[in-house]
Chain A
């Protein structure tokens, strides 16, 4: 088990490294392919009224003249060993992991990311709890009462749910439930309150994004749970369990649900990992200042250090989720052997 985890960890780190290399290369190469020079890249960061001389100095200072490998090396070194940074009156040490300093605001990227993480985590975790409970419960009931009115209604809504993009449902729910009319229920829009400041306001501000996001996923999970349950309930071991004379409740919840839930667990882990790395559309629809919104802003301003930081954080969550899911799988499903 220990060797397995270590091997997976090493592979995870390796994967992050590859992701960082590719991201860096693309952001380095594409603008240059399109005709940008190190001076034209630097122009953006010295203000509109800079002289050619100033631009040149800035390009040198930001290291835009160095070849790709050197620039990447500097970035990687900052991540591992920290970096020095000139903020005007003096030089400051930026401790590892140093994602560098925003080209535009001259502020370090890492604290900014940490600052935004709670928003994205609150959003994803809250929505995840809702969709997991809602989706699985709906799926189980539908499967057990196959063909009933509930089943049909639930599956119709679920099919609709997976076909609705969040940026549509999000706006509609904002217009209907917020923005003062017709049913003002929630206060969305940049008004994130940290949990530890005020848990009630925290939940109040996030209610609408949670429900909108959860609806989307719940629909998919309900469909999955239902088909998983139907399949599992046909399995031999369920028949055996029934034949043994176990109560139907025990059969359904102890044996059936367990078999159906295993694949859902996998998907759940990965979905959550992906969301934690930035629920881009949800955050931008609801103006939540999370990782996803940060990513959009960074991209709009073409602020490479920020883009690198946000991509790596997002990739980190995906890799982490993969790892956790694999480990959980081993716990839930005794057939999986970790070697």
Chain B
């Protein structure tokens, strides 16, 4: 029931209850869930700010080559003329200028701004794909467990228990560490990204799975499901046409809240040196380089803030979504 890292994982716990209440509210008011949620979300300035930042970040990641091309400093290019050969620090301390808005890295003088921009790609790509994997696995298995009950439920539930007992971070590091540089027909960044997506996504599904199982269990007993069943609807129809639409809201909320966890997870793995390989820039990797140069504060400031702002934006948006779908939270 707890998040993977020694980062607080309490977000996900907060609320199977609350979302359940959300879907109940729909029954009372008789308006479309989407309409209600949108109305509430529109009033929530904080959540909208989060959403704005998220969209901005996605655009930045998508158009990274354009932005960087316009600035003219590819993320792996060296600018050693800006580096002191004695201390390896940028000559004037940071080298922050119009040329290099975030300054340059010590030792090789790479442009921090473009590395942050490219880092967003890796970070968001892995976080999104891993979340998708968890959601697909978690929803499928959670609904199966909740809907079929019996031995199916106990096998899936016990499996989730075992997964949750794994020391996830240790395991992820170990796995990411022993896979060699080319394997399974892939190599380079493609391999590392797929590997990280797999590790992060595969070990996180039980969190979603448990919530989905609980939701399905309660939906199964509801009148409209009974009605469909009495009209002769079969399992697949009930699952896809009656239940899934009612699960979209909680899936959306938990997916949004899982993304920041996954961003931190990816950053942690890169920080520990088992993420995407250099010279491909990652925020976690930049932070771990920066630790050795802690006397050059701008080097750790920018990747640290990039992680912070991104995670914060997703948390704001996720909180807002949850509130919007849950009338009693405010």
Contacts and interface: CB of A to CB of B under 8 A. Distances in A.
A–B: direct contact at CB < 8 Å? yes
Nearest to A131: B8
A164 interface: yes
Interface string A302-316: 100001001100110
Most buried by A among B6, B169, B272, B307: B6
Given A15-B165, A163-B311, A319-B165, A267 B13 contact: yes
Interface residues of B, number: 53
Given A295-B173, A307-B174, A279 B308 contact: no
Given A224-B10, A296-B173, A175 B167 contact: no
B1 A281 contact: no
B152 interface: no
A58 interface: no
Contact of A27 (B5, B178, B319): B178
B312 A159 contact: yes
Contact of B171 (A35, A171, A311): A311
A267 B171 CA distance: 22
Contacts of A100: none
B264 A165 contact: yes
Contact of A310 (B10, B14, B170, B307): B170
Contacts of A23: 171
A165 B174 contact: no
Given A159-B319, A220-B10, 7 more contacts: A27-B174, A33-B183, A35-B180, A160-B312, A162-B8, A227-B18, A311-B171
Nearest to A317: B167
Contact of A163 (B165, B178, B308): B308
B190 to A, nearest CB: 16
6 contacts: A162-B8, A164-B308, A274-B2, A279-B6, A315-B166, A318-B167
Contacts of B162: 15, 18-19, 22
Interface string A223-239: 11001001100100000
Question: Which 8 pairs from chain A and chain B are nearest by CB?
Answer: A314-B167, A220-B8, A220-B10, A163-B312, A163-B311, A168-B304, A270-B2, A34-B180
Most buried by A among B264, B316, B319: B264
B214 to A, nearest CB: 14
Interface residues of A, number: 69
A243 interface: no
Interface stretch (A75-83, A111-119, A211-219): A211-219
Nearest to A273: B2
B11 A162 contact: yes
B260 interface: yes
B7 interface: yes
A277 B167 contact: yes
Contacts of A27: 174, 178
B166 A171 contact: no
Interface in B227-282: 260, 264, 267-268, 271-272
Contact of A174 (B18, B174, B294): B294
Given A227-B329, A281-B6, A299 B170 contact: yes
B179 interface: yes
A311 B166 CA distance: 8
